[in-house]
Structure 1
Amino acid sequence: MPGTILLIAGNTNCRLALVRGRTLHPVRLARTDRVIENPARLLSGLRAEDAALASVVPRATRPLARALKAVTARAPFVVSARARTGLRVRYDRRTLGADRLCVAEGAAERWTGDLAVADFGTAVTLNFVDRERCFRGGPILPGPALMLSALGRGTAALPVVRFRPRVGVFTRETGEALAAGALAAVAGGVERALIRAEAETGRRWRLIGTGGTAGLLSRHMPRMEAVDSLLGLRGLGRLFRLNRPGPSAR
């Protein structure tokens, strides 16, 4: 059974899965810059009858769509501002990133109630989906790796360091200090947004994490109820089923 290819092209990485029926089989992860150079390599050896693509990298969208068509012999479904959704969207669709729509759809399909979905990638997006299945947007802030890169490249003496979450504010050297600051900024920014949302709505929002560093950060964020690294792909599958009628979408 060939199934359907689901592909999300993010700023740093591309994530690819095969879905057969409703079962998701994650298969590949690759750096986006390398995929742009040779899209066919990411898809090498795959057999599928259809495909769905969500891209936040404009220069990657067309090459990936062509490569997917070469595998499936039909143009893929590409998430756009015109895509049919299972949510009411209270946000300017022309500026809504495909990745945000995917994680919102994935969360609304899996959980109930008022959801705050934090997607920890190059940027961190906090995506509010209320109990009435309305997407209400949310803040965007730099991800921890981007913060550390900006500090290292934008200052004269600070080094560029990898992000390693560190508990506490007392540090022994500059690398630790930078990592502690990135953790405090990201966790604090998300938690402050939750507090503001609850003050404005009188509701308690359930914090769900996804994205590359969600697992690491969840250990330092007591409010986070669950982590699902495949949430965006699940949401892309949901959007595919809503927008591509026919046997392959059922």
Structure 2
Amino acid sequence: MSATLCIDWGNSRVKAAIFKDKKLVEVQNFSDSEAANSLASLISQHQPTKGILCSVVKHPQDVEQMLRENLRHFSILDSNTRVPIMNAYTTPGTLGADRLATVVAAHMLNPDKNNLVISVGTCITYNFIQKTRTYRGGAISPGLHMRLKAMNQFTDRLPEVKVDGDLLLLGYDTDTCMRSGAIFGMAAEMDGMIDRFASQYPDFNAILTGGDGPFFASKLKNKIFADPDLLLKGLNLIVDYNVPQLQ
């Protein structure tokens, strides 16, 4: 049974998955410094023949070289990679590879829907793909840590607030007011975007993903499906689309 290694190299963490016979069988999260050893261990254990890397930062060249040496087919997702959707983004070279992978997964998993993918991480990205399999773009706004950090850095007196702590709609001190504004403000933003898209497009579906996706899933008024592994599933679909014959 052929295995595929899919790697999501993010701003703060690396996430890797093994797929066998189109099924997700293992997911690991690790830091940049742990990547080389962790990926080598996954390769040794599962013997994948195919692999793909999606990176939003500059990844170490020694890790890339190791992957190329150990996988029969290895690629880095970029604007030149063949994908099973139409990309109507006017500047495809500036489109984050992670955004592209998530909409591929959203469409292939829900082909009869107009899908909005909300990925909550360093930034919130809203990515919309029509059921005609055409990716149209979306929106980008600051993520949770960025909002909290910005309030501290761009003011003289507001403190640096951590995400963990009391969360109430009505904050009782500066820390809880900032936390409430950032978290409930983000939830209201996401609900508002969902409502706007749903009002304009029939057969609408929204999917929540990203590192902070599970944290916000219960805080939205809209009932939304959360899939923390959507990007990895998209990468696997892209590999299968390009090298279906490789066993």
Shorter-chain TM-score range: 0.7 to 0.9
2:39 maps to which residue?
Answer: 43
TM-score normalised by structure 1 residue count: 0.87
Contact 1:107 1:117 in 2 (8 A): yes
CA spacing shift, 1:15–1:2, aligned 2, 3 Å: same
Superposition RMSD on alpha carbons, in Å?
2.2
1:17 corresponds to: 17
Instruction: List runs of 5+ in structure 2 lacking aligned partners.
Output: none
Cα 1:63–1:165 change in 2 (3 A) is: farther
Normalised TM-score (structure 2): 0.88
CA distance in 2 between counterparts of 1:64 and 1:136 reads 33
In 2, distance between residues paired with 1:175 and 1:105?
39
Query: What residue in structure 2 maps to residue 229 of structure 1?
Result: 228
Checking the alignment, whether the CA contact within 8 Å between 1:169 and 1:180 is kept in structure 2 is yes
SS at match of 1:46: helix
User: Cα distance 1:105–1:224, how it changes in 2: closer, same or farther (>3 A)?
Assistant: farther
Compared CA separation, residues 75 and 191, structure 1 to 2 (3 A):
same
> Is 2:109 aligned against 1:113?
no
Match of 1:137, SS state, is strand
CA–CA distance in structure 1, aligned partners of residues 106 and 62 of structure 2: 29
Q: Distance in 2 between matches of 1:165 and 1:107?
A: 33
Unaligned 5+ runs, structure 1: none
Q: 1:65–1:76: 8 Å Cα contact kept in structure 2?
A: no
Q: 2:78 aligns with which of 73, 80, 89?
A: 80
Letter in 2 for 1:97: G
Residue 215 of structure 1: SS of its match in structure 2?
Answer: helix
In structure 2, do the counterparts of structure 1 residues 160 and 67 end up closer, same or farther at CA, with 3 Å as the change threshold? farther
Shift of the 9–96 alpha-carbon distance from structure 1 to 2, 3 Å rule, reads same
Shift of 1:214: 1.1
- What is the aligned partner in structure 1 of residue 207 from structure 2? 208
Question: What CA distance in whole angstroms lies between the structure 2 residues aligned with 1:243 and 1:166?
Answer: 48
Once the 2 structures are TM-superposed, how far is the Cα of residue 98 of structure 1 from its aligned partner? Answer: 0.6
Q: How many residues align?
A: 241
2:59 alignment partner, SS class: helix
Equivalence map 1:1-250=2 (5 Å): 1=1, 3-32=3-32, 34-35=33-34, 39-47=35-43, 48-57=48-57, 59-60=58-59, 62-72=61-71, 74=72, 76-91=74-89, 92-111=91-110, 112-164=112-164, 169-199=169-199, 201-203=200-202, 205-248=204-247
Alignment check: 8 A CA contact 2:191 2:221 kept = no
1:246 positional shift: 2.5
After TM superposition, give the deviation of residue 94 of structure 1 in Å: 0.9
Write the deviation string for residues 226-250 of structure 1: whole angstroms up to 9, x where unpaired.
Answer: 10111000000001111224324xx
Percent sequence identity is: 25
